[in-house]
Structure 1
Amino acid sequence: MMVRSLLLASVFLTASVSVCQATPGNEQKTARIFTTLQSDPVRLALFMRQFPKGADLHNHLVGAVYAESYLKWAAQDGLCLSVNQGKILPHGCTATLGKGELPATALANNSGAENRMIDALSMRDFVPTATDRSGHDHFFATFSGFVAAAEKHMGDSLAEALDRAAQDHVTYVELMISPGLGGMIAAGSKHPLQDENYADAIKALTPELPQLVAAARHETDQMEQQAQQVMQCGSAHAHPGCAVTVRYLYQTLRTLPPEAVFAQLYAGYDVAHTDPRFVGVNIVAPEDDMISMRDYDKHMRMFQALNAVYPDVKLSLHAGELTPGLVPPEGLTHHIRSAVEIAGARRVGHGIDILWENDASSLLTEMANKKIMVEINLTSNDVILNIKGKNHPFSLYRRAGVPVALSTDDEGVSRGNLTQEYIRAATTWPLTYQDIKQLSRNGLEYAFIPGESLWQKGAMTMLCKKPEAKICQNFLSHNEKARLQMALEKNFSEFENNVVKNDLFSH
């Protein structure tokens, strides 16, 4: 994937010349068209589908895959299904009676069972029942339902995610993945933490670190090789996903004993420090889980300790994915602040409980001043937390000057895409076309892509006032972030040129 990005750099440099060739009035015309479409949901969806989206920065790879794909791979691997439990099982079976189990291959002739499995492995048609009471519980249960099919198909999953991103006109994705995680957890279990003596924990784990990191890199190599084969990258039949730039956040689990969490974080930091494909670290799993809540402050201090060892590693942390009633009131008071002030997160995922943080106004001011971006996941927050419409703090963050960008979270489980997130935003709040362009630009501006930004204090850098000039071409050649941003500007120009010529939009 890194090689592909380098090859595409020359394409971006050439493409940047055409940015200035767009008709100046097309942006204004497109803005007027967008305003009329906000009351026309069908045409708005068509518009938004084609709209260039800078990045998807909050995207779990295993949750990005649709249930149908997992069921297909289960059939290919000869796995069994427990229809009653809604799970793909890690072993094969022959047809059975009375247990609700059957081979995954049998779904081809059993549409009823297939639909039950799809509903169990996603949020499709979710209706609460006595045993499946909430969207929150159903959502997180899906992962244990399809994990048996995911393990051997990470490359297939990557290919699916990138092809869908290309189809959705997304330039760049930062995917959360956890290669080599089992070995890291096992290493931690051998070295119990003594209180919070992280210095000694590092000494104890350091001899095992090279092997743990090598295993993570090897799994990533295999995943990328498989994905490139599936997408036929480099051939005349290359899939559109081959042109999407991808980087990774190392994803660690917080619902484990402290020594296992620290071992994951230590190895994850080293992966991000040594492998340029990994641009940061995150921590995941339900934030309201008993262990997550109990150890939250301890986890933040783990990040703080590791930041001193790896000052170059960037953090995007899940924080504030909580609501009143889900946890006691005291559980809502400081998670976002601690992620920012103690762990040093540069981005926050979700941030839903900002209203209930201690001195929320000062925290919002701090986040605005520090440019701590919030990854907004509208569909996910709806189906998991029942936070939707204008009850979402999206507009509060924007009013406070905190940068935000839209993302999908787990588009396969939620049955959506980034277009859906833009449509939700455009139909909920009085956003202008310039507003949605800024949301798209923010995705790349706050991505952990190496290099300087094309934008300085809200304006394009003086070096690229003339994109075709040698000084701009030299700047772009040394800055991957700026290259992707310039490519996005070209995409905006082409999009606006097409919109104003399209009778479906202009009449």
Structure 2
Amino acid sequence: MNTPGRHRPRTLVVAGLGALALVATLSAGPVAHAGPPSADGGRAAVPAVRPVTAAERSTDAHLASIRHAPGALRAFFRQLPKGGDLHNHLSGAVTPEYLIGQAAEDGLCVETATMTAVRPPCGPGARPAADARRDRAFHDALVRAWSMQDFPADGNGHDHFFDAFGKFGEVTWRHRGKQLAQVAGAAAAQHQFSVETMVTPASDGAKKLADAVGWDDDLAALHAKLVAGGRLDGVVAEARREADATDAEFRATARCGTARAEPACRLPVRWISQVSRGSAPERVFTQLALGLRLAERDQRFVAVNLVQPEDGERALRDYRLQMRMVRYLRGIYPKAHVTLHAGELWPGLVKPQELKFHIQEAVDVAHADRIGHGVDLVHEDGWQRTARTMAAREIPVEVPFTSNAQILGVRGAAHPFATYRAFGVPVVLATDDPGISRTDISHEYAYAARTYGLSYPELKDLARASLEYGFLPGADLWRGNPTRDGYRTVGACRGVRPGSPVPGPECRRLLDASPKAAAEWRQEGAFQRFERTFGR
């Protein structure tokens, strides 16, 4: 099990496979082979190049050969095994078409001036959501309001993106199990092997408890008030009942346990508890305590994360305070994980002083296990030291390219993707809110290959990293430090080809005891099949 404050040392292999065809053929610019100079005159560490197998080389050659064939490229990336999605919000991951259908089934209404779903009855200025079933113009208008569909390139993508959550919010809290079935099913269809999705557990109970307790600058005293008389445990119990109901609805929707069970049933799913960073301090602290307590008491929950716009007025004002909250509560709940949205900022969105410290504080103060987005890295004071710290502690950055472009307007060479990799920081690709973004994980991998000239072995190691840095419990399949040593199996599985259907007794015991190693093993088998198909 990974220990809070320092993730199990794992990372991906980065640039250095330039002899392979894709670097020369798909690249929009070469990937740096050495890190940029650091503030203290040193250079970023350059990860070692791992050996490339014959199957990987031939698969990479095939990828280069189809670079001008859009259909073949789509098929390649669709079938590419793509690890796990470690950064997505359940309500934003569901397609707007699915949400419109749910709104109609639940008899909800839509205020036409704002395209916001509301409870019935439908008063003046509102119409039944069910009208979208027969009125195509109304349906398409809802899709555009609830997603980035047809959004103009010169529009305010930041506000439209975040406003969508409020417009469909009345829909999403009602049927999490159905939504999870849709999201997990999509992940399985995209050849992924694990999902961690963000929800807000026991929202009403946490709000009531926070309001009853109030704020106290003494965090220890505040936590004592929350747990006094079993009050926080009562909210934990409420969250677990919600999870039970979600599980039951999910299993029924996906027909789990039946002869017609959908692939989603086989996918390990874990919850990350969302914390609304734009809320009052007592509510933020209560949600953090709830999420961390849940993660220690219920294996379905693994971590907490701060959500909502990082550039919001209260989020900016309380950022350092919130990092201190996380640090304090990590001491109370050392077995739980923390992954933080940090650095989802860009010049012009906030004042220059607000760009100087967010990632650094998440790393050094909150001791986050993972960083979400991390887009403003090079605008922070001492960013080279932060990058070296992330590399040394094996703290990965979760990169959702499409949402970074839509919300912040950051793409291509402006994105710090290559910089993180040059410093040896682990990188995992993610979707964030694919329903709103109108994207999927295959697009994110294709974008990485096209924009940064990644070879097939590099894409493969990105996928491996997204399972290695996931919060599934259990021992790792890989030993040592893949940045330095490559992906080598632990002793129990040494001498056996990863993914083999007959792993041997000692390796089988490891896979049976470790959900993480089992997911990694399944992916290795999928890579073998993929390379037989595309590496002929």
TM-score normalised to structure 1 length? 0.90
Match of 1:477 in 2: 512
Query: Which residue, 394, 401, 416 being the options, matches 1:378?
Result: 401
Counterpart residue type for residue 130 of structure 2 = T
Counterpart residue type for residue 46 of structure 1 = A
Cα shift readout 1:337-356 (whole Å, capped 9, x = no counterpart): 11011101010000000011
Match of 2:134 in 1: 109
SS of match in other structure, 1:157: helix
Mean alpha-carbon deviation: is it higher for 382-391 or for 29-38?
Answer: 29-38
Counterpart residue type for residue 214 of structure 1 = A
Query: Which residue, 70, 74, 82 being the options, matches 1:53?
Result: 82
Task: Report whether the alignment pairs 1:204 with 2:229.
Answer: no
* Equivalent residues of 1:35, 1:433 under 8 A apart: no
Query: Which residue, 87, 96, 103 being the options, matches 1:74?
Result: 103
Q: Which structure 2 residues correspond to residues 447-458 of structure 1 after superposition, within 5 A?
A: 447-457=470-480, 458=482
Counterpart residue type for residue 116 of structure 1 = A
Match of 1:431 in 2: 454
Task: Report whether the alignment pairs 1:494 with 2:523.
Answer: no
Task: Report whether the alignment pairs 1:161 with 2:174.
Answer: no
Query: Which residue, 174, 179, 192 being the options, matches 2:201?
Result: 179
Cα shift readout 1:465-499 (whole Å, capped 9, x = no counterpart): 23432221122222221111111100100111122
Match of 2:210 in 1: 188
* Equivalent residues of 1:74, 1:104 under 8 A apart: yes
Alpha-carbon distance in 1 for matches of 2:116, 2:314: 25
**How far apart are residue 194 of structure 1 and its match?**
2.5
Cα shift readout 1:357-416 (whole Å, capped 9, x = no counterpart): 111111111111110100001000011111112221111101110000100000101111
Match of 2:72 in 1: 43
Counterpart residue type for residue 158 of structure 1 = L
Query: Which residue, 32, 50, 53 being the options, matches 2:61?
Result: 32
Match of 1:5 in 2: none
Between structures 1 and 2, the one with greater helix share: 1
Match of 2:427 in 1: 404
* Equivalent residues of 2:93, 2:183 under 8 A apart: yes
* Equivalent residues of 1:466, 1:472 under 8 A apart: no
Cα shift readout 1:133-175 (whole Å, capped 9, x = no counterpart): 5000000000010011112111111110011011111100001
Match of 1:364 in 2: 387
Query: Which residue, 324, 335, 340 being the options, matches 1:312?
Result: 335
**How far apart are residue 128 of structure 1 and its match?**
7.0
Q: Which structure 2 residues correspond to residues 99-498 of structure 1 after superposition, within 5 A?
A: 99=125, 101-127=126-152, 133-195=155-217, 197-206=218-227, 207=229, 208-457=231-480, 458=482, 459-467=488-496, 468-498=503-533
Alpha-carbon distance in 2 for matches of 1:81, 1:422: 36
Q: Which structure 2 residues correspond to residues 76-95 of structure 1 after superposition, within 5 A?
A: 76-93=105-122
Alpha-carbon distance in 2 for matches of 1:92, 1:461: 60
Match of 2:32 in 1: none
Alpha-carbon distance in 1 for matches of 2:335, 2:212: 28
Mean alpha-carbon deviation: is it higher for 69-78 or for 120-129?
Answer: 120-129
Counterpart residue type for residue 114 of structure 1 = H
Mean alpha-carbon deviation: is it higher for 325-334 or for 465-474?
Answer: 465-474
Alpha-carbon distance in 1 for matches of 2:323, 2:204: 22
Mean alpha-carbon deviation: is it higher for 378-387 or for 460-469?
Answer: 460-469
Alpha-carbon distance in 1 for matches of 2:121, 2:408: 36
Cα shift readout 1:27-64 (whole Å, capped 9, x = no counterpart): 22112112233444332211000001111000100100
Counterpart residue type for residue 491 of structure 1 = A
* Equivalent residues of 2:60, 2:535 under 8 A apart: no
Counterpart residue type for residue 394 of structure 1 = F
Alpha-carbon distance in 1 for matches of 2:426, 2:336: 21
SS of match in other structure, 1:127: coil
**How far apart are residue 500 of structure 1 and its match?**
3.2
Identity score, percent: 38
Alpha-carbon distance in 1 for matches of 2:381, 2:473: 34
Alpha-carbon distance in 2 for matches of 1:389, 1:279: 32
Match of 2:10 in 1: none
Higher relative contact order (CA 8 A, sep 6+): 2
Cα shift readout 1:4-25 (whole Å, capped 9, x = no counterpart): xxxxxxxxxxxxxxxxxxxx63
**How far apart are residue 69 of structure 1 and its match?**
1.2
Q: Which runs of 5+ in 1 are unaligned?
A: 1-23, 502-507
**How far apart are residue 84 of structure 1 and its match?**
2.1
Match of 2:31 in 1: none
TM-score normalised to structure 2 length? 0.86
* Equivalent residues of 1:272, 1:279 under 8 A apart: yes
* Equivalent residues of 1:90, 1:149 under 8 A apart: no
Alpha-carbon distance in 1 for matches of 2:451, 2:65: 15
Alpha-carbon distance in 2 for matches of 1:453, 1:271: 23
* Equivalent residues of 1:83, 1:117 under 8 A apart: no
SS of match in other structure, 1:205: helix
* Equivalent residues of 1:122, 1:415 under 8 A apart: yes
Counterpart residue type for residue 72 of structure 2 = R
Match of 1:10 in 2: none
SS of match in other structure, 2:174: helix
Taking only aligned residues, the RMSD between alpha carbons, in angstroms, comes to 1.4
Counterpart residue type for residue 25 of structure 1 = A
Alpha-carbon distance in 2 for matches of 1:258, 1:349: 22
* Equivalent residues of 1:373, 1:405 under 8 A apart: yes
Alpha-carbon distance in 2 for matches of 1:73, 1:349: 30
Q: Which runs of 5+ in 2 are unaligned?
A: 1-52, 483-487, 497-502
Alpha-carbon distance in 1 for matches of 2:402, 2:135: 30
Counterpart residue type for residue 144 of structure 2 = D
Counterpart residue type for residue 362 of structure 2 = A
SS of match in other structure, 1:194: coil
* Equivalent residues of 1:83, 1:116 under 8 A apart: no
**How far apart are residue 127 of structure 1 and its match?**
2.2
* Equivalent residues of 1:337, 1:363 under 8 A apart: yes
Mean alpha-carbon deviation: is it higher for 394-403 or for 27-36?
Answer: 27-36
Cα shift readout 1:77-102 (whole Å, capped 9, x = no counterpart): 111112221211122327x6xx3x21
Match of 2:48 in 1: none
Counterpart residue type for residue 169 of structure 2 = V
Cα shift readout 1:112-135 (whole Å, capped 9, x = no counterpart): 111111100000001279xxx500
